Structure formats: structure tokens, C-alpha cells
Amino acid sequence: MQQLTFVKPGVLEWWDVPAPHLEGPQEALVRPLAVATCDLDGPIFRGETPFTGPFAFGHEFVAEVVEVGSEVAVVRPGQRVVVPFQISCGVCANCRRGLTAVCASVPRLAAYGMGGTWGGALSDLVRVPFADQMLVPVAEGIASATVASASDNIPDAWRAVGPPLRENPGAEVLVLGGAGNGSIGLYAAALAQALGAARVDYVDQNQSRLELAQKLGATVKEGPPPRRLGPYPITVDASGDVAGLACALRSTAPGGTCTSTAIYFAPETPIPLFHIYSVSEITYKTGRVQARPIIPAILHLVQEGRLHPELVTTAQASWEDAIEALGNPVTKLVIVRN
């Protein structure tokens, strides 16, 4: 079968590789239909991360179920599903606590499209080891391309605003955007609006993302992150910039929550601890998203017409043009199989 392979920074190639097959009764084989770029894919492609090739590329996708094992009961062949990017069994102690990013049944950091043996989304077939626990059916009427990022980036944004707005309904939200390709901050702004935030302010230096944020209903501020804004009950650092992280923390109101979805690869990242201490009782959250438990909530918002992820999509390409399209970075690219 064909598999798009990250060979080295700046080099993607279609490789002929053996097709996966079912290796147990709880597994499924799926055929990717729509694959979205993650905000991390751009830095990987440019060689700005610790990931080294070769490995199968792509990890945000909607797929069609092709074949299932004898014990699979929830999904069936022909069904469209969101495939979470992280591999999780759904039944270990961590998964039962919702910590599907650290499933105890698979090796640490097990995921599609980032090395390992699991394959990638830009392939003819992908093996899903825990089909009923991982795969989330997509309702009729929702386009595959619309929810391709429900595998990772949209849940990553949701965890930054969903739980805090549930605890503090109608709160004002500040989003510092820009990390990687920059979609997570935009999804956070869109989700905050969908979940009833009184106001969403969005800060970025990229003009096209600022225009998108405005279309999503946010009030925008162009330029580098200032020292402090707010205070806001809910702040989101999706900037990937130490100054953005510091601004989000300094802008968090007493009793508020600051969530950083950005990845800081440096071994040490400074944060304004004395300011945080002086403010008293703010909550700071970071770490990899626990994507699988969030996906049903995302699909529900889309089905209700309250969330429109397609507004964040800035380019679409055919399967055959994937390499060329991936070489032209945009905020959110969706690659669609005919």
C-alpha cells in the first residue's frame, strides 16, 4: 500500500509498504478519508522538533471502517469515524480516569504519525488496536473534512476553555495564539464563543489568523504579547512564545485558570512565579491533551450547529497533491481522498 513518509526535514515521500492486517479480535482496519495538519506537523516538517524520520506522517483524520475483528461490537464496516491520534485501550486504570494519553496498555507516547509502529493517517489503511474504545462514529450530515481535526487539535483547544467555562459560566476568555501553524488558538476562540463566553479576546502577530479570529467572533489585538492584559478568569496560551506564556499567566485573574496547549521544547522555560504567587490561587494546566474522551463533545457541538471547525480550514488539497500542499504551510490544511 501507499504511505506518506516523513524522511527528513523538508522531505516527504510516498513509500510502498506492507498493508496492515488485523492482529486481534478487538481491532479494526480503517481507510483515511480526510486528514488535517496538526499544529505540530509544520515544526516537524521544518526540523524544529526532536522527531527524526523516517516515519509515517499524519495523525488527525476521519476514516471509513473497512474490516473489524470478531469481538468488535460498536463500529462496523462502512461507518465513518474520527480516529483519536493517541492509542488507548479504554479499560486500564489510566484510561478509566480519562487519561488516555498515558494508556498503560501501550508504550509511552503511542500515537499515529509521530514514529513508532502505528502508521500514519496519510496511508491507504491504518490499524486500530482497540476499535470500540477508540473510534467515534461521525453522524450523517457532518462532512469528513469538517471534523478531521477532532482527532487532536480541536480537543486540545476544548480542554483549555470547556472545563473552565463549565466552572465559571459566561466568563471572559483571553487567547494568546500562534504556536506551530496556529490553529489551536483559533479553535479555542471558536469553542469559547460556542460555550457561552461573555467575551473572547485573541492576540496574535499573524494578520490572516487575526482575520479568522474576528470572523469567529473574537475581539483581536495585533502584535507581540504584552506584559499583561486583563485580568481574565480564563486564559489560554496557544502561542509557543515564552512572552505569550508569561502574558497569559500574568493576565489570569485570582481564582482563574490558565491552560497552555503550546509545546516548549527547551529544557527550561521561565515563568513569572512571583507574580503568580502574589495573585493567589490561580490554576495552571499544561501537558498532552487527553483527546479521546473529548471527541464526542466536539461532534455534538458541530452537529448542533454551534461549532464550525471548517471556518478555521485555510486550504484543502487532494490526496495526490499532499506533498506539494504540505510544503506550503498554512494555518489548517485538510487533505481529502477522492
Domains delineated in the chain? 2-152+289-336 (3.90.180.10), 154-285 (3.40.50.720)
Of all residues in the chain, what percent are helix, strand and coil, respectively (each to 5)? Answer: 30, 25, 45
Q: Which pLDDT belongs to residue 221?
A: 95
Average pLDDT over residues 75-79: 97
Residue 40 CB coordination number (10 Å): 23
Work out the pLDDT band at 338, boundaries 50, 70, 90: confident
Buried b / exposed e along 65-75 (16+ C-beta atoms within 10 A): bebbbeebeeb
**pLDDT (average), residues 11-36:** 97
Report the half-sphere exposure of 17 (CA within 13 A, side-chain side): 22
pLDDT, position 329: 87
The span from the first CA to the last CA of the chain, in angstroms, equals 16
pLDDT in tens, 115-155: 888 999 999 999 999 999 999 999 999 999 999 999 999 99
Query: Could you read off the pLDDT of 320-331 as tens digits, one per residue?
Result: 999 999 999 899
Determine the Cα–Cα distance for residues 154 and 152; give it in Å rounded to an integer: 6
Digit-coded pLDDT (tens) for 210-253: 999 999 999 999 999 999 998 999 999 999 999 999 999 999 99
CB-based contacts of 249, cutoff 8 Å, min separation 6 = 235, 237, 258, 271, 272, 275, 276, 282, 284
Average pLDDT over residues 265-273: 89
Enclosing H/E stretch for 209: helix 207-215
Check if the beta carbon of residue 136 is closer than 8 Å to that of residue 75. Answer: no
Closest CA to 2 of 148, 121, 128: 121
Tell whether the model's pLDDT for residue 61 goes beyond 80. Answer: yes
The pLDDT value recorded for residue 179 is: 87
Provide mean pLDDT across the span 66-85. Answer: 97
Distance of alpha carbon 4 from alpha carbon 63, whole angstroms: 16
pLDDT tens by residue, 99-122: 999 999 999 999 999 888 899 999
Average pLDDT score, the chain: 96
**DSSP character at residue 57:** B
Length, in residues, of the chain: 338
In the prediction, which pLDDT does 227 show? Answer: 95
- pLDDT for position 115: 81
Strand partners, 200: 173
Predicted local distance difference test score (pLDDT) of residue 78? 97
Please, are residues 144 and 138 in contact by the beta-carbon 8 Å criterion? Answer: yes
Query: For residue 298, which of 199, 152, 171 has the smallest C-alpha distance?
Result: 152
